[in-house]
Amino acid sequence: MPVIAMTQEMGSLAKDVSLQLAQTAKLNIMRHEVLEHVAGRMHVPGSLISRLREGKAGLVERLTTDRERVAVYTAQEVFDLAGKGSIVLRGWGATCLLRPVRHVLRVRVTRPFKQRVAWLMDHLGTDDEAFAEAEVQRSDSAHASRMHDQFGVTWGDPLLYDLVLNTDRLSVESCVEQIRQLASRPEFQETAESRAMLADLALNARIRAALKDHESTRDVNINVESKNGKAVLSGIVINPRESTEAARVASTVAGTVNVDNQLRVMVSSRRFASAKT
């Protein structure tokens, strides 16, 4: 059951490649599931999530939207979709989120800047080249910033991908054929180990999302590591109640067999004791 993670780059023809790949290889394709899931969990319009991702959100929107929750909910949806297999995942950081899973094929589809600008001008039906250039640059900056902030990587680094395709040199059909051939190779076949890795990552994401869903644990910043259904919680919390609540919430998540609570309670110094509640 192939899982193919692809980049989302304005004017690169990645969307065309993903649609044709899904059709010819009989794969599902991620459409609006992540957007709808994240917006629904945060009780905000999907258009707000889109503006944040595209770098179009206003100052007030950027300051009042919990971007950490956006990232946590996004990760949960990407891992859940990948776990179903036979799917093409485009954008949403899928190439980075799924990097540890050996059977996931990570593909970047790109194109020279001028060709991407020309594509946008044609797409919008405009002859304003300066406007189109600014839009492509804004989109690229938003992608680069999000990838750096969320994953600590440089957007476009070829080492992040298994395959880089230039649609200025290759047709959409040729790109699809290259991806299909590589996906059929032994290196990208599921194994017990790769399935277990994906399951562990998915459980981590579900636990993090559950912690964000509960008011009592929403602001808790802890580490979560899962293996074979056992979740290990580590880090520092400000009081025993936070520790108890975090373990309780984690234990309710589907797939959690056992919770190893290694959280440490912050020790109050005399100097700041009066500030503690």
Q: Which of 40-49, 131-140, 172-181, 183-192 has the lowest mean pLDDT?
A: 40-49
Q: Which domains, and CATH codes, for the chain?
A: 3-188 (3.40.50.300), 214-275 (3.30.1340)
pLDDT digits (tens, 9 = 90+) for 113-150: 999 999 999 999 999 999 999 999 999 999 899 899 98
**251 SS3 class:** helix
**Average pLDDT, rounded, for the chain:** 91
pLDDT of residue 268: 64
What's the pLDDT band for 56 if we cut at 50, 70, 90?
A: confident
pLDDT of residue 42: 86
Contacts of 55 (CB under 8 A, 6+ apart): 138, 139, 141, 142, 145
Beta-sheet pairing, 223-227 with 230-237 = antiparallel
DSSP state of 66: -
Taking the C-alpha atoms of 57, 17, 87 and 160 in order, what is their torsion angle to the nearest 10 degrees?
Answer: -70
pLDDT digits (tens, 9 = 90+) for 242-267: 999 999 999 999 999 999 999 999 87
pLDDT of residue 270: 47
Contacts of 26 (CB under 8 A, 6+ apart): 86
Q: Do 259 and 270 form a contact (C-beta atoms < 8 A)?
A: no
Contacts of 24 (CB under 8 A, 6+ apart): 176, 180
pLDDT digits (tens, 9 = 90+) for 88-99: 999 999 999 999
Q: Do 109 and 167 form a contact (C-beta atoms < 8 A)?
A: yes
Alpha-helix runs per DSSP H in the chain? 14-25, 33-42, 46-54, 59-64, 67-84, 94-97, 113-124, 129-151, 172-183, 192-213, 240-251
271 has a pLDDT exceeding 60? no
pLDDT of residue 277: 47
C-beta atoms surrounding 60 within 10 Å: 8
